[in-house]
Amino acid sequence: MTFDDTPATSPPSLAEAKAQFIHLWGVSATSWGVSKTLAQVHALLLVSPKALSTEDIMAQLTISRGNASMTVRELLDWGLIYKELRLGERREFFVAEKDMLQVTRCIIRARKRRELDQMKRSLDQLANLPGDAADVEYQAFHSTLTDIQQLATASDKLLTKLMQVERSWFWDKFLKLFL
């Protein structure tokens, strides 16, 4: 990526805009409990028309080999990037899933599994606690837990539906229905 010296008043170069987008994606991720590097590697690949090697990623984001390796592996787990193998090349290249509907599905799937499903198990256990229905302390606990459980179940079902939804249905029916 070339260095460039344009004055502050002109529109940013493509390289600058990419850097800004990568930065933005990193900052946003952080406030949703996702590691900055994970998001930045994702952003870099999202705006890259061709597959990048680990070396490319290290160089562009100035991160260590270890970090790049771990991060790429996690993105593969999420399903947000793919390996691209080339004949006669030892090293691996990576491309991002570019379809944002698909990206959304991956993110919902991963986070639902990791956090919502786990939480529902704990809630089920706690909400079943037997107790004295006349005790105001017990009542407060039990009714709050039940309400949260209900909300968790509703969220779960909604997210499951959203993941399964067809592209055409999504853009045609769903959006027009609500928006």
Partner DNA sequence: AAGAACTTTCAATTATTTCTGAAACATATG
Partner DNA sequence: CATATGTTTCAGAAATAATTGAAAGTTCTT
- In the complex, the residues that contact a second copy under the rule CB under 8 A are 11-12, 14, 17-18, 20-21, 24, 28, 30-34, 46-49, 98, 100, 104, 114-115, 119, 122-123, 126, 129-131, 135-141, 143-145, 147-148, 150-151, 154, 157-158, 161, 175, 178-179
Q: Kindly state the smallest distance separating residue 46's Cβ from DNA, in Å.
A: 18
133 burial (CB, 10 Å; 0-12 / 13-18 / 19+) is exposed
- Beta bridge mates, 82: 95
Q: For residue 62, state whether it binds DNA (rule: CB under 7 A).
A: yes
Total of residues contacting DNA (CB under 7 A): 23
* Count of beta carbons in the 10 Å neighbourhood of residue 28: 13
**Element (H or E) spanning 154, and its range?**
helix 136-164
Give which of DNA, a second copy, none residue 89 binds (C-beta under 5 to 8 Å, depending on kind).
DNA
Tokens, residue 87: 């004949």
43 vs 22: CA distance, rounded Å: 5
Q: Kindly state the smallest distance separating residue 171's Cβ from DNA, in Å.
A: 34
Nearer to a second copy, 63 or 119 (CB): 119
Q: For residue 69, state whether it binds DNA (rule: CB under 7 A).
A: yes
User: Stretches 56-64, 104-112, 124-132, 146-154: which one binds DNA (CB under 7 A)?
Assistant: 56-64
Nearer to DNA, 90 or 176 (CB): 90
> Do residues 81 and 56 touch, judged by C-beta distance below 8 A?
no
Q: Strands (DSSP E) along 2-133, which ranges?
A: 52-53, 81-84, 93-96
Give which of DNA, a second copy, none residue 133 binds (C-beta under 5 to 8 Å, depending on kind).
none
97 vs 39: CA distance, rounded Å: 14
> Do residues 35 and 29 touch, judged by C-beta distance below 8 A?
yes
Site residues, DNA (CB under 7 A) = 30, 35-37, 53-55, 62-67, 69-73, 88-92
